[in-house]
């Protein structure tokens, strides 16, 4: 059976291990990792802001395109009306010319017809007066149609100017949106790169802390194991008290204890880490794990992890391992 001095030395070594491991978890290479996380957060925030700008530009472009469509529809309507006015004007002018010829050749009203029948060939003025009277109403219609055509021309010119201005706005908005989308794609690629670097930093930091904890744990675990291998089965009360400053393993180990036994070192069936008796005995320990003090269970858990890996606990993946 080991002496109290020897076992106390082992417990003190384990306490040093726990303190060092906790400190490494708290500090580690948090500087580079936090810097990289901050960089990723800044890029993600820029992406969010850019997405909001793209959405706003899309809305503006949609409204501008609707306005452009309305202008183009109005211009098409004005063009159709102008074409119809031109056709009507041409028909009226043709009819007026035919009426003038008809009046000149055959005469018309009773008064003028009498004058024309007495004509000796010098009645051109009379015939002209008749043509003017016969075509007076149509001339007024032609003047009205010409005024309408001028209004339509002015309207079409205004619509064309408006169409050009709105088309320029649509083009400008489309260009801005395309440029912003391209910038967004570049930022997404940069974010993926930064996230990859962050994952590598976290993995490297975890590996370093695991290796450091393993190196420091080996001596403490070996000392605790050596102190108890030759001991006869004993109850919980047969072990020396925990060394000053000792505290249970934190981090992943605390999570595993919580998942396995609700963090109960006296839990039946294998203590805090739920050791099988066969596994506990393979570590050189007598009895069952629940009979051993918490600091011994911690030491044996570290030794088992170093010997066989995290796969000994099905809950380890849920705890981030």
Q: Which two tokens stand for residue 162?
A: 């408006």
Question: Confidence class of residue 139 from pLDDT cuts 50, 70 and 90?
Answer: low
Residue 263 has pLDDT above 90, yes or no: yes
pLDDT at residue 99, rounded to an integer: 62
Per-residue pLDDT, averaged over 252-270, amounts to: 93
Per-residue pLDDT, averaged over 128-136, amounts to: 58
User: Could you give the percent of the chain with pLDDT greater than 90?
Assistant: 26
* Residue partners of 256: CB distance under 8 A and separation at least 6: 273, 301, 313, 315, 316, 319
Least-confidence region, from 36-50, 241-255, 280-294: 241-255
267: three-class secondary structure by DSSP: coil
- The Cα 289–Cα 296 span in angstroms is 9
- The Cα 177–Cα 43 span in angstroms is 19
- The Cα 217–Cα 89 span in angstroms is 106
CA 258 to chain centroid, in Å, comes to 37
Instruction: Answer with the residue of higher pLDDT: 236 or 70.
Output: 70
252: three-class secondary structure by DSSP: helix
Residue 212 has pLDDT above 50, yes or no: yes
Query: Tokens 């706003």 map to which residue?
Result: 56
pLDDT at residue 319, rounded to an integer: 84
Q: 200, 176, 245, 281: which is closest to 16 by C-alpha?
A: 245
Per-residue pLDDT of 166-196, as tens digits, reads 899 999 999 988 998 999 899 899 999 999 9
Per-residue pLDDT, averaged over 301-316, amounts to: 91
- Give strand ranges (E) for 105-258: none
Enter the CATH code of domain 4-28+207-319: 1.10.530.10
Q: Exposed, middle or buried by CB within 10 Å (0-12, 13-18, 19+), for 11?
A: buried
- The Cα 185–Cα 279 span in angstroms is 54
Instruction: Answer with the residue of higher pLDDT: 221 or 181.
Output: 181
* Residue count (the chain): 321
Least-confidence region, from 225-229, 246-250, 274-278: 225-229
Question: How many CA atoms lie less than 13 Å away from 93 in the CB half-sphere?
Answer: 10
Query: In which element (H, E) is residue 108 found?
Result: none
Integer CA distances (angstroms), 283 to 30, 279, 308, 311, in order:
35, 7, 11, 16
Query: Tokens 């083009």 map to which residue?
Result: 171
Mean pLDDT of the chain: 76
**Would you say the CATH fold of 47-196 matches that of 4-28+207-319?**
no
Q: 47-196 is classed in which CATH architecture?
A: Orthogonal Bundle (1.10)
Q: Which two tokens stand for residue 135?
A: 């075509």
Show me where the domains of the chain are located: 4-28+207-319, 47-196
Residue 229 has pLDDT above 70, yes or no: no
Neighbours of 191 (CB within 10 A): 18
Least-confidence region, from 45-49, 120-124, 294-298: 120-124
Per-residue pLDDT of 271-284, as tens digits, reads 999 999 999 999 98
* Residue partners of 211: CB distance under 8 A and separation at least 6: none
- The Cα 37–Cα 259 span in angstroms is 29
- Cβ distance 178 to 57 under 8 Å? no
Residue 30 has pLDDT above 50, yes or no: yes
- Cβ distance 75 to 163 under 8 Å? yes
Residue 316 has pLDDT above 80, yes or no: yes
Least-confidence region, from 20-24, 55-59, 109-113, 228-232: 20-24
Residue 14 has pLDDT above 50, yes or no: no
Per-residue pLDDT of 51-98, as tens digits, reads 998 899 889 989 999 998 988 898 888 888 878 877 776 777 677 666
pLDDT at residue 20, rounded to an integer: 40
Residue 299 has pLDDT above 80, yes or no: yes
Per-residue pLDDT, averaged over 279-298, amounts to: 90
Residue 258 has pLDDT above 80, yes or no: yes
Q: Which two tokens stand for residue 272?
A: 């805090």
Instruction: Answer with the residue of higher pLDDT: 13 or 220.
Output: 220
Neighbours of 88 (CB within 10 A): 15
């Amino acid at each position: 059976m080991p002496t109290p001095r020897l076992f106390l030395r082992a417990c003190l070594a384990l306490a040093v291990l726990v303190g060092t491991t906790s400190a490494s978890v708290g500090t580690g290479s948090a500087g580079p990792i936090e810097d990289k996380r901050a960089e990723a957060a800044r890029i993600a925030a820029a992406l969010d802001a850019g997405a909001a700008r793209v959405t706003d530009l899309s809305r503006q472009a949609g409204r501008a395109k609707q306005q452009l469509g309305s202008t183009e529809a109005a211009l098409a309507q004005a063009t159709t009306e102008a074409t119809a006015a031109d056709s009507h004007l041409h028909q009226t002018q043709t009819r007026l010319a035919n009426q003038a010829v008809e009046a000149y050749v055959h005469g018309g009203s009773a008064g003028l017809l009498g004058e024309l029948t007495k004509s000796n060939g010098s009645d051109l003025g009379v015939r002209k007066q008749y043509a003017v009277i016969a075509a007076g109403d149509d001339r007024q219609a032609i003047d009205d149609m010409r005024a309408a055509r001028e209004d339509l021309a002015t309207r079409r010119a205004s619509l064309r100017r408006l169409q050009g201005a709105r088309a320029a706005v649509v083009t400008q908005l489309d260009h801005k949106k395309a440029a912003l989308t391209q910038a967004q794609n570049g930022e997404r690629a940069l974010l993926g790169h930064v996230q990859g670097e962050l994952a590598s930093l976290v993995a490297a930091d975890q590996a370093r802390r695991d290796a450091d904890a393993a190196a420091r744990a080996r001596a403490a675990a070996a000392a605790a194991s050596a102190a108890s291998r030759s001991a006869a089965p004993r109850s919980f009360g047969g072990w020396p008290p925990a060394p000053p400053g000792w505290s249970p393993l934190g981090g992943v180990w605390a999570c595993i204890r919580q998942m396995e036994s609700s963090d109960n070192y006296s839990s039946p069936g294998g203590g805090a880490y739920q050791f099988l008796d066969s596994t506990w005995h393979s570590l050189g320990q007598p009895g069952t794990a629940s009979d051993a003090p918490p600091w011994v269970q911690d030491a044996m858990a570290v030794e088992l992890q170093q010997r066989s890996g995290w796969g000994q606990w099905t809950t380890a993946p849920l705890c981030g391992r």
